[in-house]
């Protein structure tokens, strides 16, 4: 048959090559798992901003006086008050101011920040509401300056300058907008976070004051979700000349609270 013959296959050598290749693949870092998710980062920043420790728990925005007079005495009446406030009240205007602060901070428009801070101060209907906004804004901006954020800011103006020019005292809506811009939170998400934070705080006040159970408080927030989303969409469409609210009930309740004999809350 001549000298022609098949060479034997070296199975051990081939297996060694496969194992070596597999080891190389496994040793390479996973680019999919190691890359942080932009969506998750924004969500985490939004959650931290919406529930930042700014002292909001100490304010009821007139709900304490309304409970005292019997105007709010149940889960239903509290829900109606919060829903009407979201649809027609001052919190819509505050959220719109926060959006304008966010936009101004993004482009470094210090003049606009100062203007809207003064505008927000003038729009407050009572001393308690004004002091509440200033205290919460001061606490939030001080916190923002002190924190070492993992988010790389793309702002053209440093946060400290935004805070200083934004106003002293600084309203909470202005501070919220600056923080949202610094942490690269999208406008719609920022507005939803602002409104939900407000609703959660006042629902908590109602749970303590009426009183209600914790389950009722959580159900109330679930019931308000649709209105929060609807109000957020409307807020983003508001022009400057459209900023206004029907909040005389809030004003009267807040002024009555200033002279209320027994109080748990600061507003």
Q: What is the pLDDT of residues 185-217, one digit of tens each?
A: 999 999 999 999 999 999 999 999 999 999 999
**Which pLDDT score is estimated for 72?**
97
Confidence of residue 14 (pLDDT cuts 50, 70, 90): low
Are the C-beta atoms of residues 116 and 174 closer than 8 Å to each other?
yes
- Highest averaged pLDDT of the listed ranges 14-28, 158-172, 222-236: 222-236
Tokens of 234: 């409307």
Choice between 8 and 175, residue whose per-residue pLDDT is larger: 175
> For 76, phi and psi rounded to 5 degrees?
-65, -45
In the chain, helix, strand, coil percent, each to 5? 70, 0, 30
Given pLDDT bands bounded at 50, 70 and 90, which one contains residue 166?
Answer: confident
- pLDDT at position 212: 96
Q: Give per-residue pLDDT as tens, 93-140.
A: 999 999 999 999 999 999 999 999 999 999 999 999 999 999 999 999
DSSP 8-state symbol, 242:
G
pTM for the full predicted model: 0.84
Mean pLDDT of 234-255: 93
Question: Tens digit of pLDDT for each residue in 23-81?
Answer: 444 444 444 444 456 678 888 989 999 999 999 999 999 999 999 999 999 999 999 99
Longest alpha-carbon distance in the chain: 117
pLDDT tier for residue 1 given thresholds of 50, 70 and 90? very low
At how many degrees (to 10) do helices 172-182 and 159-166 cross?
Answer: 160
């Amino acid at each position: 048959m001549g000298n022609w013959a098949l060479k034997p296959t070296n199975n051990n050598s081939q297996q060694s090559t496969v194992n070596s290749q597999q080891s190389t693949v496994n040793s390479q870092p996973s680019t999919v798992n190691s890359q942080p998710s932009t969506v998750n980062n924004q969500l985490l920043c939004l959650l931290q901003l919406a529930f930042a420790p700014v002292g909001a728990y100490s304010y009821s925005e007139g709900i304490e006086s309304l409970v005292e007079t019997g105007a709010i005495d149940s889960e239903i009446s509290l829900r109606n008050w919060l829903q009407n406030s979201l649809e027609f009240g001052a919190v819509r205007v505050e959220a719109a101011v926060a959006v304008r602060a966010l936009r101004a901070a993004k482009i470094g428009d210090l003049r606009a920040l100062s203007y809207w801070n003064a505008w927000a101060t003038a729009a407050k209907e009572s001393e308690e509401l004004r002091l509440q906004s200033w205290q919460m804004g001061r606490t939030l901006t001080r916190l923002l300056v002190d924190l070492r954020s993992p988010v790389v800011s793309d702002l053209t103006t440093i946060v400290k300058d935004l805070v200083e020019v934004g106003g002293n005292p600084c309203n909470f809506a202005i501070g919220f907008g600056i923080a949202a811009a610094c942490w690269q939170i999208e406008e719609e998400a920022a507005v939803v976070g602002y409104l939900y934070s407000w609703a959660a705080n006042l629902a908590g006040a109602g749970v303590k004051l009426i009183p209600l159970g914790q389950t009722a408080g959580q159900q109330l927030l679930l019931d308000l979700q649709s209105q929060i989303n609807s109000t957020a969409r409307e807020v983003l469409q508001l022009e400057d000349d459209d900023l206004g609210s029907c909040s005389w009930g809030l004003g009267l309740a807040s002024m009555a609270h200033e002279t209320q004999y027994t109080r748990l809350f600061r507003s």
